[in-house]
């Protein structure tokens, strides 16, 4: 007849399996949530891209200027490139979830195997006790009525544990079946995302080809006009003029001046591609942090037409601008410190289809005068 130690071992094993079964679904749920959030971002880019393509069709149908068509194609090209990167992230999360689900399925399969061994031993033990009349011997060996009651309870508990173990195995098999079904669904989704990604990459190559073809047909004057239209400077000047009124009375970062120097670049680990007028074109690695050059207050955060972001920070009456960010982690009205992260660098394509990871930085004084961005980074 099983003693207390035997019963204790069975109870411990059951508790360990139950713990494994309850913790795995939590991790799976978190992984699924990450995939769904990323998918929502991908779908948002798809809608923006479709809207961009619709505008492109309208522009072509209206026989607008070639420069306007190229500008729209550039927007479409960058949106598609952003979509590709977000889809790649969705693929990575799906692959991560598939690996996690596969691991969970393996753990559950192993636990079910161990539980089956435990259950088989419980059945064999019950059969031996039945054939050898051990239950009767166990009861008649009692030392008084109290001991007999305790032994009868032990016999009942062992029988209950056999039933519980059988039910536990059935429940785990159901969970395993659900994991395998989810695994199959995710693999199907991964195949679908992979096909979509290949299609978008092909379409991006066509966009690049279209831009090159249209550019080659432009006259010198049209190319000059297009370059002017594409310039960040005009948009920055307009935005800063509008924001000047928001800096009035601002005390955050008020010690900043035109003599401030020896500051870090606004991109961690970044380097300056070039300076043009008051703008510094700063490149960085994928996902590199964009940081504020000085203490200040965020006066505006806005997206542009390719789903990149611009952040404007007031340092007293001065304004620093951070344009073409891939993401932002500050909001209007936030007080920020020097070198505090405000976002990440954006990813775009040039007319030749080369990937470019960069942001544009510029400075303005309280009167709206453009300041040489290079001066504040001099060591």
**pLDDT reported for residue 357:** 86
3-class DSSP state for residue 301? Answer: strand
**Burial class of residue 128, CB neighbours in 10 A (0-12, 13-18, 19+):** exposed
- Tell me how far apart the alpha carbons of residues 188 and 202 are, in angstroms, rounded to a whole number: 21
CB of 351 closer than 8 Å to CB of 74: yes
**pLDDT reported for residue 1:** 45
CB atoms closer than 10 angstroms to residue 9: 12
CB of 282 closer than 8 Å to CB of 363: no
Residue of 38, 355, 28, 24 lying closest to 190 (CA atoms): 38
CATH of 232-377, one of 3.40.630.30, 3.90.199.10, 2.70.70.10, 3.90.1310.10: 2.70.70.10
Token couple for 278: 């008051």
**pLDDT reported for residue 19:** 47
Distances (CA, A) of 79 to 52, 54, 195: 8, 13, 18
The full set of domain ranges for the chain reads 4-214, 232-377
- Tell me how far apart the alpha carbons of residues 303 and 310 are, in angstroms, rounded to a whole number: 6
- Tell me how far apart the alpha carbons of residues 133 and 136 are, in angstroms, rounded to a whole number: 5
CB of 281 closer than 8 Å to CB of 272: yes
Per-residue pLDDT of the chain (379 residues; tens, 9 = 90+): 444 444 444 444 444 444 444 545 566 677 778 888 888 888 888 888 888 888 888 888 887 777 778 878 888 888 888 889 889 989 999 998 888 888 888 888 888 888 888 888 877 777 776 665 666 666 666 677 676 677 677 777 777 878 888 888 888 888 888 888 888 888 999 999 999 999 999 999 999 888 888 888 877 766 665 565 555 555 655 666 667 777 778 889 999 998 888 899 999 999 988 887 678 889 998 889 999 999 999 999 988 766 689 999 999 989 999 988 999 999 999 999 999 999 999 887 766 677 788 888 988 888 878 888 888 887 5
**pLDDT reported for residue 49:** 87
**371 beta partners:** 363
CB of 194 closer than 8 Å to CB of 116: no
Token couple for 245: 């009124």
- Tell me how far apart the alpha carbons of residues 21 and 104 are, in angstroms, rounded to a whole number: 9
Contacts 24+ apart (CB under 8 A), 17-20: 17/111, 17/114, 17/115, 17/168, 17/172, 18/168, 20/107, 20/108, 20/111
- Tell me how far apart the alpha carbons of residues 378 and 263 are, in angstroms, rounded to a whole number: 7
């Amino acid at each position: 007849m099983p003693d207390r130690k035997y019963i204790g071992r069975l109870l411990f094993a059951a508790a360990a399996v139950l713990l494994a079964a309850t913790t795995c679904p939590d991790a799976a749920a978190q992984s699924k949530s990450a995939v769904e959030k990323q998918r929502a971002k991908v779908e948002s880019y798809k809608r923006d891209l479709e809207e961009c393509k619709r505008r492109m069709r309208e522009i072509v149908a209206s026989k607008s200027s070639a420069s306007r068509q190229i500008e729209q194609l550039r927007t479409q090209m960058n949106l598609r490139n952003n979509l590709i990167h977000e889809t790649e992230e969705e693929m990575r999360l799906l692959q991560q979830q598939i690996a996690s689900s596969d691991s969970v399925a393996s753990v559950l399969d192993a636990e079910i195997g161990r539980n089956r061994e435990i259950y088989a031993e419980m059945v064999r033990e019950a059969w031996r006790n039945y054939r050898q009349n051990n239950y009767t011997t166990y009861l008649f060996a009692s030392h008084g009525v109290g001991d007999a009651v305790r032994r009868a309870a032990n016999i009942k508990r062992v029988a209950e544990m056999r039933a519980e173990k059988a039910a536990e195995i059935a429940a785990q098999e159901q969970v395993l079946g659900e994991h395998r079904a989810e695994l199959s669904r995710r693999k199907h989704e991964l195949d679908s995302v992979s096909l979509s990604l290949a299609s978008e990459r092909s379409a991006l190559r066509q966009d690049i080809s279209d831009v090159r073809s249209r550019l080659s047909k432009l006259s010198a004057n049209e190319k000059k006009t297009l370059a002017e239209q594409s310039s960040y400077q005009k948009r920055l000047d307009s935005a800063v003029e509008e924001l000047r009124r928001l800096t009035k009375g601002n005390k955050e970062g008020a010690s900043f001046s035109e003599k401030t120097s020896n500051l870090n670049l606004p991109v961690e680990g970044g380097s300056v591609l070039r300076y043009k007028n008051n703008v510094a074109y700063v490149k960085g690695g994928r996902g590199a942090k964009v940081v504020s050059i000085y203490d200040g207050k965020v006066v505006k955060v806005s997206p542009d037409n390719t789903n990149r972001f611009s952040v404007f920070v007031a340092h007293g009456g001065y304004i620093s601008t951070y344009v073409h960010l891939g993401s932002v982690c500050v909001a209007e009205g936030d007080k920020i410190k020097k070198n505090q992260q405000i976002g990440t660098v954006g990813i775009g394509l040039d007319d030749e289809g080369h990937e470019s990871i960069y942001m544009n930085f510029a400075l303005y004084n309280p009167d709206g005068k453009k300041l040489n961005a290079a001066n504040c980074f001099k060591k």
